[in-house]
Structure 1
């Protein structure tokens, strides 16, 4: 792994099942993550993904690339455009810095209406573990 390396993009289909399952798994029972009618009553066109699901997908993106021995040391993300059902989020990343067995990766995830997530992930990759 070297500074400037780009990670291959990961396409994530945004399904109702993914949104609801992610909310349940993270114990986020806010109605906007599982009840379309209540989400509309609150001004959203549909249910939308919660930040904990996005955080998990970002972690998966990094560990899929760097391998099963990779350890996430820091994840700092910010949400933008919501992930609604029927869209696709494409995650991309670029290694910004490498210090020994640790890399800082700038990530972004875009969907059909804009940037859903941006941020950085610091990942430790023991020798022989980088993809």
Structure 2
């Protein structure tokens, strides 16, 4: 695991969003809500298209941090808030920064943005050596 310091930026990571990505990750997280896999129902509910579910967004935030810190990291907590929907044919781009290192825990601020704005914002806390 790498040594973390406050102010350190995490390199950006982008994920092209396809209908298959959005539908398959909803199914993989056992989220059967129809707005994540049925365009007609999503549009009838006022959405432009199907959209990514919160469980997938949470998992991608964790992946983004763990890929950078190291997969042997010990996660101490994740707190996220959803914003703009993540629709197919868009790109979800993650950025992050270590905001604090104290008492053996690093706090990392993460934002995942799509063309409509911030899709997910939050913090990830990881144990540091």
The normalised TM-score by structure 2 is 0.93
1:74 corresponds to: 77
Gaps of 5+ in 2: none
1:103 corresponds to: 106
Q: CA RMSD in A?
A: 1.0
Distance 1:101 1:6 in 2: 19
Q: Confirm whether residue 24 of structure 1 aligns to residue 27 of structure 2.
A: yes
| 3-state secondary structure, aligned to 1:94 | strand
1:100 Cα deviation from its structure 2 partner? 5.0
Structure 1's consecutive aligned runs of 4 or more residues displaced over 4 angstroms after TM superposition are none
Gaps of 5+ in 1: none
Distance 2:70 2:103 in 1: 17
Distance 2:71 2:82 in 1: 26
Distance 2:17 2:76 in 1: 27
The normalised TM-score by structure 1 is 0.92
Give 1:33's match in structure 2, choosing from 29, 32, 36. Answer: 36
Aligned residues: 126
Distance 2:35 2:28 in 1: 15
